[in-house]
Amino acid sequence: MDIWTKPYLVPRYPVVYFDDNQNDRVLELTSSVRDYMTMMDARFITGAEPLGNIPGYLERLRNLGAAELEKLYQDAYAIYRRNLGQ
């Protein structure tokens, strides 16, 4: 079975942990970012939103905190990687 599935296996993002304050912020940011992404994905797919509006879409994601959310996950991943060496 490995010879057929191995070329298609992709490593998953590991389970990372946040402290209480970080977790609250992740939940807050994820909620707003996910809601907006879900709505806009549907609009782009159905043609209700022209693809030329993608730069505005990305800017709005940044304004909703997507960059901060990414940073929180990157920091948690860095801690995960550091702990692997112990």
- What is the C-alpha separation between 83 and 17, in angstroms, rounded? 12
Are 72 and 22 within 8 A, CB to CB? yes
Given a cut of 90, whether residue 50 has pLDDT beyond it is yes
Residue 25 lies in a domain: yes
Residue 4 lies in a domain: no
Residue ranges making up the domain that contains 28: 17-84
Given a cut of 80, whether residue 29 has pLDDT beyond it is yes
Are 26 and 72 within 8 A, CB to CB? yes
Residue 45 lies in a domain: yes
Residue 29 lies in a domain: yes
- Rg of the chain in Å (alpha carbons): 17
Given a cut of 70, whether residue 27 has pLDDT beyond it is yes
- What is the C-alpha separation between 82 and 86, in angstroms, rounded? 7
Residue 2 lies in a domain: no
Q: How many domains does the chain have?
A: 1
- For the segment 53-70, what is each residue's pLDDT rounded down to a tens digit? 999 999 999 999 999 999
- Cα 12 from chain centroid? 13
Compute the average pLDDT of residues 1-19.
87
Residue 23 lies in a domain: yes
Residue 26 lies in a domain: yes
